Chains A and B, each alone.
Chain A
Amino acid sequence: MARKRSKRAAKMSAAKSKRRGKARAAPTEAKPKGVINAWEQDPGDGAQPTGGQVIQRPVPVLREQPFSIRIANPASAPQAKPHSPGTGDFRYWTAAEALRRGADFWGALLPGTSWEVGSILPVDLDFGIDLNAFYDRQGLKFFHGLAAGRTVFSGESPDVVCHELGHAVLDSLKPQLFDAASIEVAAFHESFGDMSAILSALQLPSLREGVLAETGGVLRRASRLSRLAEQLGWAIRQSVPSAVEADCLRNAVNTFFYRDPDTLPTMAPATALSSEPHSFSRVFTGAFFEGLAGMLATSGTRDEAALLQLSQDIGVILVEGIRAASVVPTFFSQVAATMLGVAASEFSAQGYEVPLRSGFVRHGILAPSMAVAATHAPVRSAAVAASTESTTLPRLQLSVAEYGLGVPSIVVYAAAEPKRLQAAGAALAVGPAPAPGQDQAAKSFFEDLLRRGRLKVAKAGKPAAEVVRSSAPLTHETYTHELQREGKQMVLRRVRIDCGCGHH
């Protein structure tokens, strides 16, 4: 795998050299010296509209390749020097810094790609009054708006800037998605914007160090990295509190589970899922972020250098996954499956496919059996004979061949006693949800354990079936069930009841 890494590194280096070569061929100007002040990630901090970290960065050159950019409004750049927050000059340079950083990150992954709008992406930092920001096929547009007596500029937030830049990048990578009339496609575009904000933020050493310190190295915890657009979220919250999260616009650390969008309401408060694209996007973003967190958790080192490498590797996996994915109504699962394939084939030594698969399975984007198939893991088989053990509950022989556990079936104790009350959960439309048969109920329960990472999988079944929780403590196990060999059978046994608050 070291060879694969070297090949990839050489490929990226060659692409960079090619670009450098092109730059040398054209008339060049000396790079400006000095630094500017910028927000690290957002002007806000959690639920507060202020408190963001100010950092110093080299003067960005927007016209540079890859992905040239031009700020059209304001028409001229203020002096490139450290300006104080709260000034127009500061806002200009913080936006420029975020734009260049995001473009550099994606440009390295997409050599030779140009904007869908043309060779240069125009940006308007103050297009009018609104608490919003847009990408259209003319450029990026940011706004200002008043909330609780404070004027908020959306273009001042690197999170917002890199989200919108992400739309422009994805439009260059897969233009078909822009106009496709599909809920999941539209939601994926929004998710890509949020993933762009996250991955672009991770290109800052200070952010990587800060988030590792803030989370104790457990990326799965909510942090400045997972919270998107704190200040804009605050501003919207002043007028419509239910429209955004309690401490930001959207949070990549979430527990949203995939539902067929056809079964969701078209609108819902931020605490619930709806088929509205921004709302529904959180399912994919949550799975992606959990995958990233899991990649760090399973890596040998958890320092900022490792986090930088992971951000670049997952960027490769994401881009190649999107390229290969078919544009169908179930676009989330298409992208997830192709991402797993890329992780398995190009990063097998790093073991990325297990944490990535875990994120997608735990958020319901891929069924466990589909996730196993996506990575082409071999399904192992073993003989299981009948048991003579007496039980207090009916025993079922459950077929589990599709999960790659190493056995074709297991024994479970089914909740199959006669019902005392005819009660069932409600369907989303009308009446009760259909009651599953005992086989189906047992299988649902088993698959749920897999999805939630609560089943300890025997070594013979790894890594095909394992779902890991990036939030799991390092000092002790929190599995609730395991497969125990009893005679010639594998039996599902509960080993503990976990009453902790780790709902993940």
Chain B
Amino acid sequence: MPRIKEQALKTELAKHGFESISIKRELPGGRVEVEANKLHPVHVEGGESIYAPIPVSLSVGLDARGRVKSIDGGTPDPAAVADATRYVKTLRDSGQLAAAGEQQPASGLTHQIERDAQGRQVLRRKRFSIS
């Protein structure tokens, strides 16, 4: 079993578009099971896709030095994409999602749509509220 360098693995997986990465467990054969989020288009507004972080699980193969050799999985499940689409609608309807470009979240807002470094519009949580 290669020694897992957790931070290096996270950095490597981030290059493949994974976020909020956590190593769930080590598997036989030099593999690790990882949970993460991956941005995926879930909604179209004004002709432009809105991306949301979708939970995914993946199995990462490592070489003897602990470097990423292969990645299996990590593609958002259709049910998870449908869940995210519904989530965006719920946030909109309940007034928890700020309009694109709104800088200062108003009371009750928990999410914003931000433009990321690649120019994509991305749903991002800004905070949790009690009500």
* Contacts of A162-189 to chain B: CB distance below 8 A: 163-164, 167, 174-176, 178-186, 189
B88 in contact with A181 (CB, 8 Å): yes
B52 closest partner in A (C-beta):
A181
What is the minimal beta-carbon distance from A300 to any residue of chain B, in angstroms?
37
B55 in contact with A185 (CB, 8 Å): yes
Contacts of B42 in A (CB 8 A): 181
- With most chain B CB atoms within 10 A of its CB, the pick from A134, A174, A180, A184 is A180
Q: Which are the 9 A-B pairs with shortest beta-carbon distances?
A: A181-B52, A136-B127, A266-B93, A181-B84, A327-B55, A329-B83, A176-B20, A167-B128, A134-B127
- Please give 16 more A-B residue pairs, beta carbons under 8 A apart, in addition to A182-B55, A267-B94, A276-B94: A135-B128, A141-B127, A175-B22, A176-B35, A178-B125, A179-B53, A181-B53, A181-B83, A182-B54, A190-B128, A236-B131, A243-B131, A326-B57, A329-B80, A329-B82, A329-B83
What is the minimal beta-carbon distance from A171 to any residue of chain B, in angstroms?
9
* Complex: A278 Cα to B130 Cα, angstroms: 8
* Complex: A193 Cα to B129 Cα, angstroms: 10
What is the minimal beta-carbon distance from A416 to any residue of chain B, in angstroms?
35
A189 in contact with B55 (CB, 8 Å): no
* Complex: A232 Cα to B130 Cα, angstroms: 10
A326 in contact with B35 (CB, 8 Å): yes
* Contacts of B38-64 to chain A: CB distance below 8 A: 42, 52-55, 57
Q: Which residues of B contact A (CB under 8 A)?
A: 19-22, 35-37, 42, 52-55, 57, 77, 79-80, 82-84, 86-90, 92-94, 96, 107-108, 123-131
Contacts of B80 in A (CB 8 A): 182, 328-329
B107 in contact with A193 (CB, 8 Å): no
A selection of 17 A-B contacts at a CB cut-off of 8 Å is A132-B107, A132-B131, A133-B129, A134-B129, A135-B127, A174-B22, A176-B55, A178-B125, A181-B87, A189-B128, A232-B130, A261-B86, A266-B92, A266-B94, A276-B96, A278-B131, A328-B79
Number of interface residues of A (CB under 8 A): 47
Known: A130-B107, A176-B36, A267-B94. A193 touches B128 (CB 8 A): yes
Contacts of A133 in B (CB 8 A): 129-130
A182 in contact with B94 (CB, 8 Å): no
* Complex: A134 Cα to B108 Cα, angstroms: 9
A181 in contact with B123 (CB, 8 Å): yes
B128 in contact with A249 (CB, 8 Å): no
A175 in contact with B93 (CB, 8 Å): no
Contacts of A141 in B (CB 8 A): 127
A179 in contact with B83 (CB, 8 Å): no
- With most chain A CB atoms within 10 A of its CB, the pick from B22, B92, B94 is B94
* Complex: A218 Cα to B55 Cα, angstroms: 39
* Contacts of A130-162 to chain B: CB distance below 8 A: 130-136, 141, 154, 160
Known: A174-B22, A181-B54, A183-B86. A132 touches B129 (CB 8 A): yes
